[in-house]
Amino acid sequence: MSLDYLWTGFAVALQWHNLLFGLFGCFLGTVVGALPAIGPINGIALLLPLLYTLGVPPESTMIVLAGIYYGAEYGGRISSILLNVPGDAGAVMTALDGYPMAREGRAAEALALSGIASFIGGLVSVVALTFFGPLFGQLAVGFGPAEYFVLMVFAFATLTSMVGDQPIKTLIAATLGLVLATVGLDPTSGAYRFTFGEPELHDGIEFIILVIGLFSVSEVLMLLERQYAGRLTLLSVGRGLPSLATVRSCIGAMLRGAGIGFVIGVLPGTGASVASAVSYTTEKRISDRNGTFGKGDPRGLAAPEAANNAAAGGAFVPMLTLGVPGSGTTAVMLGALLLYNIQPGPQLFSERPEIAGGLIASMYIGNLLLLILNLPLVQLFVRMILLPNWILLPGVLALAFLAVYSAYASTLSIVITLSIGVFGYVLRKLGFDLAPLILGFVLGKVAETNLRNALAISGGELGIFFSSPIAIVLWLLAAVVVVLPLVLRRRGVLS
Amino acid sequence: MGKDLRVPFSARVPALVLFLFAVALAVEAARIEYAFSSDPLGPRAFPFGLAVLLGGLAVAWFVWPGRAEPWPRGGLLLQSVGLLALAYLAAWLFDRAGFLIAMGLLCTGVALIFRATLVQALLSGIGQALLWWLLFVYGLRIPLPVGRWFLGS
């Protein structure tokens, strides 16, 4: 495919009013991303009718909306790192090493590093979208239920990296996550599972409720203990930008995260949460030789953050090339295109180059704008954790309430969140790591649905899981992920 | 990984609870009702398999309990329970008394638990309730409850 559409796109995106639209979208996205559970969909839903009514041209509208989408991926990390309250599903993994970095007095470094990782992830994905978009679109078409299931097997294989010095507890946590994922209406048979007649549970346990309960509510209880023991003191925030050596040590993690994030982002129905989870566990498998992941290792922050942003870019591939949305937000953006009577698909690049090209060009520019916008703002954001605990910690709980209520408009959801918080606190006291539980939950639903769909297609024949080249490659990758570290450890390459 | 006999039985109680939970889960999974299923596995097999796995892991945990942190006692226990009671109360009041009262109460109470003076706690409570209200209702156009009690329904 010729890149003429891209030059047309740059000519559109670099017009001063579109630059301003892009900047506005990036800023708004960062704000809505920083507020847990609000997310880009709300920002887009808020602005789309307004932009349409005001007669803003479609290319400018798409530039604003893409800015919100990208900005939210940047913003989601802020509350994750500073407060252990993930701003969105993709930012959960960021908290695993980002929050410990902040508690060590390296909040500014963590925020700046995550901004750089987001930039790298976003850049890699938009370059891949530019040059290989249609190719990856075809890859997405090749993924049936069997391939999705084997992809989940691969993801579970990377989960073995989470096994620490208490393997039984890690396995229990992952299994509990899988169990929680089975709650709700079974889409294949229409059966209600573990809902106990409660309509609020028919849709299952919502991810954001689980995450906010497990991380934020339980964290406030843990901090109360620290205060009681006299160990809760005001934090320092560090000097700001990470050193060149730190950035250099994270480049591999960022690039791997970006690659994984982009490929997973291309696949409809997987999304940033799976991308960042697989990226984190893969990176831990590759780089965590001294057991520093989960304790404030910059690579554990950089990999999922790059993956998170790359997945956002990857989600545009099926939307632009096939007219199939890759995520909830791109589904709303697809709706925005249809609102303007524009049909997405391969012909979009030739028939409306100013839309497809303008959108892709705005991603290049938006990424740069976000980096420029975010790095100086680091010192402003980190002041949040310099607030006294009597302001900060009530604020964390208030934010948890607001996030859950604004997403589900139900007080029972708040009660469920609090109860999950108590459950998370008990698990932490018993020596459990919460990350495998989250991973089990994220992967469980996709794994079961695709396992059963694949078996329905094959009439119960297991051969379907080995019937395509994609599935075979994924099986091999899963085997490598499990076996290679064992071999390397035996040879003394890994500790 | 030999069985550590020095570990007190109380450390094994959570494993016992988990085992009972796994049994209940298996029973509940076996009782899932459905009229038809388009796949050979059906909706029971996956959760039932997970229950069996969880039961096995609970047995392993009972034998090798591993490390755990001490539970809160005395004043800390009181404060933890107080904080949770306050949070549940705020959740109950959320749509009854409205966001402002529920959040004002929650933030004031939690600030007191985190050693604020009464004035500081009131400042934190009233200030945060108003700030979040303005941001969500007017900034983000996300409606928050004003309180059923005040609407007369």
Q: Which of A24, A16, A10, A67 is nearest to A361 (CA)?
A: A10
Q: CA–CA distance from A449 to each of A89, A146, A292, A444, B60 (Å)? A: 20, 10, 35, 9, 29
Choose the closest CB to B54 out of A169, A175, A190.
Answer: A175
B39 vs A428: CB contact, 8 Å cut-off?
A: no
Measuring CA to CA, which residue among A80, A39, A23 is closest to residue A304? Answer: A80
Out of B63, B89, B105, pick the residue that ends a domain.
B63
Q: Measure the CA–CA gap between A249 and A247, rounded to whole angstroms.
A: 5
Burial of A80 (0-12, 13-18, 19+ CB in 10 A): buried
Structure tokens at B20: 């009972």
Q: Are residues B42 and B90 in the same domain?
A: no
Q: Is A186 on the interface with B (CB under 8 A)?
A: yes
For an interface test with A, give the residue of B16, B23, B39 to mutate (most A CBs within 10 A).
Answer: B39
Contact between chains at B84 and A418 (C-beta distance less than 8 A): yes
> How do A184-185 and A192-193 pair as beta strands?
antiparallel
Residue A455, CA atoms < 13 Å, CB-side half-sphere: 17
C-alpha A69/C-alpha A83 separation (Å) is 22
Q: For B110-139, write each residue's pLDDT tens digit.
A: 999 999 999 999 999 999 999 999 988 888
Query: Residue A390 and residue B140: Cβ atoms within 8 Å?
Result: no
Q: How far is A477 from chain B (nearest CA, A)?
A: 25
pLDDT of res. A90: 75
Q: What whole-number distance in Å separates Cα of residue A135 and Cα of residue A138? A: 5
- Domain shared by B82 and B140, yes or no: yes
In a domain, A495, yes or no: no
> For residue A256, what are the domain limits?
4-490
Chain B residues whose beta carbon lies within 8 Å of the beta carbon of residue A405: 94, 144
Measured in Å, how far apart are chain B's first and last C-alpha atoms? 62
Domain annotation covers residue B68: no
- Count chain A–chain B contacts defined by CB atoms under 8 A: 183
- Establish if B69 belongs to a structural domain: no
Q: Hey, are the CB atoms on B94 and A414 less than 8 Å from each other?
A: yes
Per-residue pLDDT of chain A (495 residues; tens, 9 = 90+): 567 778 888 888 888 898 899 888 888 888 877 776 666 776 777 777 778 878 888 888 888 888 888 888 788 788 888 888 776 777 888 888 998 998 888 888 998 999 999 999 999 999 998 888 777 777 777 788 898 899 888 878 877 666 667 788 988 999 999 999 999 998 788 889 998 888 888 888 888 788 888 888 998 998 898 888 776 665 666 667 788 899 999 999 999 999 999 988 887 666 777 888 889 988 888 888 788 888 889 999 999 999 988 988 888 887 777 777 766 777 777 778 878 888 777 677 777 888 888 888 888 888 888 888 888 888 777 777 778 888 988 998 998 898 888 878 888 889 999 999 999 999 999 988 888 888 888 888 888 988 999 999 998 889 999 999 989 998 998 888 778 767 766 776 555
- Set of chain B residues whose Cβ sits within 8 Å of the Cβ of A191: 32-34, 37, 43
Does residue B3 sit within a domain?
A: no
Predicted confidence at residue B116, as pLDDT, reads: 93
Query: Looking at residue A466, what DSSP letter applies?
Result: G
Per-residue pLDDT tens over the stretch A312-342: 888 888 777 777 776 677 777 777 887 888 8
Chain B closest-CA separation from residue A459 CA (Å): 7
All residues of chain B having their beta carbon less than 8 Å from the beta carbon of residue A415 are 88, 91-92
Question: Same domain for B81 and B136?
Answer: yes
Cα A306 to Cα A21, A31, A65, A116, distances in angstroms: 25, 19, 20, 8
Same domain, B41 and B103: no
Per-residue pLDDT tens over the stretch A203-257: 888 887 888 888 889 989 988 988 887 766 656 666 677 888 999 999 999 999 9
Residues B98 and B131 in one domain: yes
Asked whether the beta carbons of residue B39 and residue A405 sit closer than 8 angstroms, the reply is no
Residue B2 in any domain: the answer is no
Asked if B55 and B84 sit in the same domain, the reply is no
- Domain assignment of residue B1, yes or no: no
d(CA A245, CA A116): 14
In DSSP notation, A42-88 reads HHHHHHHHHHHHTT--HHHHHHHHHHHHHHHHHHHHHHHHHHS--SS
CB contact under 8 A, A168 and B57: yes
| Other beta carbons within 10 Å of A2 | 9
Q: In which domain, by residue range, is B146 found?
A: 74-151
Task: Name, in order, each residue with C-beta under 8 angstroms of B1's C-beta and a sequence gap of 6 or more.
Answer: B64
CB-CB under 8 Å, A225 with B80: yes
Residues B78 and B141 in one domain: yes
Query: In the structure, what pLDDT confidence band is assigned to residue B1 with cuts at 50, 70 and 90?
Result: very low
How many domains does chain B divide into?
Answer: 2
Query: Quick check: A233 contacting B, CB < 8 Å?
Result: no
**Residues A83-120 as b or e (16 or more Cβ within 10 Å = b):** bbbbbbbbbbbbbbbbbbbbbeebbbbbbbbbbbbbbb
> Domain check: are B59 and B94 in the same one?
no
Residue B60 CB neighbour total at 10 angstroms:
16
- B93 within some domain: yes
